Amino acid sequence: MASGEKLHIVMFPWLAFGHLLPYLKLAKLIAEKGHKISFISTPRNIHRLPKLPHDIAPLINLVKIPLPCTPNLPENAEATCDVPFNKVKHLKIAYDQLQDPVTCFLESNSVDWILCDFASYWLGPVASRLGVPCAFYSIFPASILGFFGPPSQMITGDDYRVIPEDFTVKPKWVPFQTSVAMSLYQILVLEPNFEADETENVSDLFRIGNTIQNCDIVVIRSSTEFEPEWLKLVEEIYKKPVIPAGLLPAIDDDHEDEYWDEIKDWLNKQARGSVIYVAFGAETKLNQVQVTELALGLELSGLPFLWALRKQRGLTDPERIELPEGFEERTRGRGMVYPTWVPQVKILSHDSVGGLLFHSGWSSVVEAVQFGKALVLLPFLGDQGLIAKQVEEKKLGLLIPRNETDGRFTRDSVAETIKLVLVDAEGKIYRDKVKEMKGIIGDMDRQNYYVENLIGYLQNHKSMGK
């Protein structure tokens, strides 16, 4: 295919906003180069996506495919943020039932490439039958993929790591020194996802292993500046091309936000770099004990804070959490708590914000570092623990100390870690490292290079699947 010809790329992300948004971000960057994107998801998820810029909206077709009704999946639940953690497996079963309508869409359209997510393990064979090349687009960094190893091992379950403790050390196929490994409490929480259960659901490792095995290339939200050794390792163990798409730094589109004026007025009154912003994303919800310790830790720190607090994960979540009695009165003026969505990019870009206390989600890492904010790490789910270890290894942030067996943390450890990272002389290394990396992650010229390189590869290998 000539380099000047335009592509039609289908994107099919998993039903989580931590996946939908990075897919949409890459879609926008590709559309800016004049290529057509068909972005497939469910109606409610598409309705909740940010509005597309006018100049590229005609090039991005938001394809709405209704999610089939599935037993045990609450009504109107179309994303992981709509359901408690133990209901996500039913969302995966419903997602698998999108195979026929997605196949129908591909058969009815001229498609040059498909970019799919880890969960759609059935899409690679469909693409192959239709003669359309398929890429696994990983919103996880290469370190996560490298830690879990060869896809054949994920599929067959032949991992030499057979007990939870085996996952707490560096894998044997990693030739370089690294602290990237799981804490015991994290593997115990994740263990059910690694195994098939009594429902029709298959394990996450089976999904991702088959997705990788059946794709033509792997595209990763990463960069050679951030993790060159992991990118090289993944290409070696996957035995197929691995292409970094860049880190996808955030661009604030200046759209109106309901709470921004109030938040901005409060931030303007705080000292430069003094505020700790606390947020745990759309999927992560802390339990009552964790919220209580975190709240009292923020109070003990004595620092101003802004907290986006998720009290419930979907309307069917029976465990609604609350702040400790008297907490808001005691911290009034020094702290703000919003039990709703807040404009994170605008907040992180404000001069009075000095750091982010968060779940270690990859998108939030990128957004915080691009604005020079040091990181206080408190991971809970999925890939978060491994990302936190990588971030701490690079001295961009510090993990809050926890009990390695059950993951408990205390208000004292919260307060001490926040003060160390934001204020103390001992934490200057984290503040300096973030400023050093800020120029790399926030460099849009560098990001543009990665997108151009990816598009060039897709153009030159359009017929790969045929």
List pLDDT tens digits, range 452-463: 999 999 999 876
3-state helix, strand, coil in the chain (%, to 5): 45, 15, 45
- Give me the half-sphere count of Cα atoms (radius 13 Å) on the Cβ side of residue 334: 13
CATH of domain 8-249+444-460: 3.40.50.2000
Could you tell me which CATH number the domain at 260-441 has? 3.40.50.2000
What tens digit of pLDDT does each residue of 268-300 get? 999 999 999 999 987 787 889 999 999 999 999
Query: pTM of the entire structure?
Result: 0.93
- In 3D space, the residue among 120, 131, 129, 126 whose CA is nearest the CA of residue 98 turns out to be 120
Above 90 in pLDDT, residue 361? yes
Instruction: Inform me whether the pLDDT recorded for 418 exceeds 50.
Output: yes
Average pLDDT, the chain: 92
Strand 60-64's sheet: what is its strand order?
60-64, 36-41, 8-12, 113-116, 134-138, 217-220, 242-244
The residues, any chain, with a CB within 8 Å of residue 274's CB and separated by 6 or more, are: 303, 304, 352, 354, 422
Residue 2's pLDDT band, with cuts at 50, 70 and 90, is: very low
Cβ atoms < 10 Å from Cβ of 256: 7
Average pLDDT over residues 202-222: 95
- Does the pLDDT value for residue 56 go beyond 90? yes
pLDDT given at position 1? 42
Burial 214-233 (b: 16+ CB within 10 A, else e): bbbbbbbbbbeebbebbbeb
Q: Which of 82-86, 166-170, 393-397 has the highest mean pLDDT?
A: 393-397
For the stretch 228-269, pLDDT in tens is 999 999 999 999 999 999 999 988 655 667 789 999 999 999
Q: What is the pLDDT of residue 236?
A: 97
- DSSP 8-state symbol, 235: H
Q: Look at the block and give the residue holding tokens 């940010």.
A: 50
Contact 6, 34 (CB under 8 A): yes
Residues linked to residue 219 through DSSP beta bridges, in sequence order: 137, 243
**CATH 3.40.50.2000 location in the chain:** 8-249+444-460, 260-441
